[in-house]
Structures are given as C-alpha cells and as structure tokens.
Amino acid sequence: MEASKLHQQCIVFDAHCDSILDVLEDKRTLEQRSSEGHLDLPRLQEGGVTAQIFAIYVRREYLGRAAHQTLRALDAFHALFDRCTDDVILATTAADVERAKADGKIAAIIAIEGAESLEGELALLRVYHRLGVRNLGITWSLRNRAADGVNETRTGGGLTNFGVELVEEMNRLGIMIDVAHLAPAGVRDVLEISQSPVIASHANAHALRSVARNLTDQQLAGIARTGGVVGVTFVPYFLDEDWKRASLGYLLDHIDYIVKVAGIDHVGLGSDFDGFPPPPPTGLEDATCFPNITVGLLERGYGEDDVRKVLGGNFMRVFRQVCG
Ligand SMILES: [Zn+2]
C-alpha cells in the first residue's frame, strides 16, 4: 500500500506535547494555524494525527500554586473543546478516539506532567480524573512528593509512600502511569507495583544516546513486560549527541532499537512538540511531518501491520486496557 494511504488509514497517536503552555501564556490559540511553535489543530489534521496527548506542565515559578495552574489549564482545554466541536473532542476512552477518527476530528487526551499538580492530595487526582485527565507522569525532572525525577541525581530516590498510594489510585481510577522523567529507582518501583501497563510517553533508547532521560535496555524490557509502550521522542538532544544534525533517520534508529529490545508491540510516538527549543530534527519540523515517519518505516522494511502498531495501535491497546 502507498505510504500516504496507509498513513490516512492508521490511528496516529502522539503521546506527548506541551502546546497548551503557549495558550495559557496567550501566545497563540490552538484552533488557528500558526507559524509559531510545532503543533495546532490544523497542523495535526494535516499530519494525519488522530489522538494527541496534551500535557499540563506547571512551570517552576508556579509551583507554589500548582493546583491553581492545573485547573487554569483544564479550563483552557474545556473552553477549546466547547468552541471547536467540529474539529476536536475530549477523549477519555479508546472508543472516543475511534469515533473521532470516523468523524475526521482530533481526539485530545489530557495528561498531567508531574504529581506537583496534586499538592499531596489524592482527592485532586480524583477531581482531575472527573475533568478528563487520563495520563499522569509521576514526576518531571525534579523531586516531588511522589518520587525523584531524573535530575535529582544526588538522592535518586524511588516512590515515597505517597507515590505508592498514587500508583494504586491511578490503577483503580484508570489513568495511564507515565514514567518519562522519573529517576531509575522510581521506574523500578512503578514497574513492580503497577497492576496496569506502564508507559513512557516521551523517551528514547539510552544505548543509542546516553542521557538520563533515555531508557536503559532493562527499563525498556521492563515496560514491555507490563504490556506498556515507549513513545519515541523527537527532542534533538535525546536523539543524538550532535543534536544539531538530528533528523528523522535518528528517530527511526531509536524505533529499530526499541523494537529489538522490547518488541514491536511496545513502541509508539511521543513527539514532545512545543516542549523543546529549536532547531527541530530535519524531517520532523512540526505536526504536519508525521507522514514522513510512515514513509521512513516502510522504507526500512516494516510491514503494514507493524507500521500501524508503531504509529498508534500500541498506544491504543494500552489506552483501551487502562482507561476503557
Ligand atoms: Zn517532558
């Protein structure tokens, strides 16, 4: 099958972007096509993306009122969904994503990046779940009440008591657990404790690019054992040491490698669009570029079924299993 036709047929699932931050800072809206940033609804549509996870990340200067900032972001999302009913829907289940695909709309899945947003209260997790949140990263790169992030190298702690309760409550509610940014001890704890598949929404292979944010072979295999998925990320610095030359080819190398270590059922996409500074990798400049990945995978000899899995089938499997 022709690459463009296959791409159109697939559910393309991008497991991470930070685009809501620009909206909160009144830089742009997501419904209008912009030359700023990497991603908006028209560009997702052009790139053939069906499901987009939008992360709420609380900037460091707002940590003193993290819940307030999280609710502001949730308000911005719901306002967008109310305004743009023809273009985007809030997706809380796999069936919502399938409906969006059939209707030619974007399915937006809301995530929170870092348990700071909970301010130590599982009650807030339950409220966020009611407001549509279906994915939560335990930490960003720093320490919080649930665990240490990857930059907390001196202590490198795993899950706290609160972190353990958080994982159990996420299992119970049906929220995907995301270990991107989590320090190795925390990843080990989550893999041991979680009763549901675990994801790393945006990370690459440490064997190809040795930075703390990338996953070791053991971690890749551990995520696969839970039935989870690793979303390869376009962040140039996580693709190659010489990040200025990063390109689609490097992303495909990380996909090949993770397929080798974790298996074809455990790789997906997690762009991190609007979450990294310029320049973007060549061939992955913005959300219109997703079809290039399909072309690249076919050129590397992946069969149609395998392309479907990497583009979105694998994340859909986990989303259905965890969230319904
Ligand atoms: Zn991130």
Number of CB atoms found within 10 A of residue 317's CB: 19
| Residue 156: predicted pLDDT | 85
Instruction: Among 16-20, 22-26, 129-133, 224-228, name the one with the lowest average pLDDT.
Output: 22-26
> In the predicted model, what is the mean pLDDT of residues 251-261?
98
For ligand 1, the distance from its centroid to the CA atom of residue 141, given in whole angstroms, is 8
For ligand 1, the distance from its centroid to the CA atom of residue 140, given in whole angstroms, is 6
The two tokens of residue 12 are 């393309």
Close Cβ partners of 259 (under 8 Å, ≥ 6 residues apart): 267
Rg (CA), the chain: 18
> In the predicted model, what is the mean pLDDT of residues 184-204?
98
Across the chain, mean pLDDT equals: 97
| Alpha helices, DSSP H, located in 84-121 | 94-103
Determine which helix (DSSP H) or strand (DSSP E) holds 249, and give its type and residue range. Answer: helix 248-262
How many whole angstroms separate alpha carbon 67 and alpha carbon 141? Answer: 18
Is the pTM of the predicted complex or chain greater than 0.85?
A: yes
For ligand 1, the distance from its centroid to the CA atom of residue 180, given in whole angstroms, is 7
Q: Is the pLDDT of residue 256 over 90?
A: yes
For ligand 1, the distance from its centroid to the CA atom of residue 169, given in whole angstroms, is 22
Query: How do residues 136-150 score in pLDDT, each as one tens digit?
Result: 999 999 999 999 999
For ligand 1, the distance from its centroid to the CA atom of residue 138, given in whole angstroms, is 11
Closest Cα partner for 287 from 10, 43, 45? Answer: 43
Q: Is 123 exposed, middle or buried (0-12, 13-18, 19+ CB in 10 A)?
A: exposed
Q: Is the pLDDT of residue 230 over 90?
A: yes
For ligand 1, the distance from its centroid to the CA atom of residue 275, given in whole angstroms, is 7
For ligand 1, the distance from its centroid to the CA atom of residue 233, given in whole angstroms, is 10
Give the pairing type, strands 176-178 and 198-200.
parallel
For ligand 1, the distance from its centroid to the CA atom of residue 15, given in whole angstroms, is 11
Query: How do residues 109-138 score in pLDDT, each as one tens digit?
Result: 999 999 999 999 999 999 999 999 999 999
Query: How do residues 45-100 score in pLDDT, each as one tens digit?
Result: 999 999 999 999 999 999 999 999 999 999 999 999 999 999 999 999 999 999 99
| Residue 299: predicted pLDDT | 98
For ligand 1, the distance from its centroid to the CA atom of residue 1, given in whole angstroms, is 35
Helix (H/G/I), strand (E/B), else coil: 208? coil
| CB 101, CB 94: distance < 8 Å | no
For ligand 1, the distance from its centroid to the CA atom of residue 76, given in whole angstroms, is 20
For ligand 1, the distance from its centroid to the CA atom of residue 298, given in whole angstroms, is 28
Q: Is the pLDDT of residue 218 over 90?
A: yes
For ligand 1, the distance from its centroid to the CA atom of residue 183, given in whole angstroms, is 13
The two tokens of residue 68 are 């307030």
For ligand 1, the distance from its centroid to the CA atom of residue 181, given in whole angstroms, is 7
> In the predicted model, what is the mean pLDDT of residues 170-187?
98
The two tokens of residue 225 are 């054992």
| CB 67, CB 57: distance < 8 Å | no
Q: Is the pLDDT of residue 202 over 90?
A: yes
How many whole angstroms separate alpha carbon 193 and alpha carbon 32? Answer: 42
For ligand 1, the distance from its centroid to the CA atom of residue 316, given in whole angstroms, is 20
The rounded percent of the chain whose pLDDT value lies above 70 is 100
Helix (H/G/I), strand (E/B), else coil: 96? helix
C-alpha angle with apex 58: 113 to 31, nearest 5 degrees?
85
| CB 129, CB 175: distance < 8 Å | yes
Q: Is the pLDDT of residue 1 over 90?
A: no
The rounded percent of the chain whose pLDDT value lies above 90 is 99
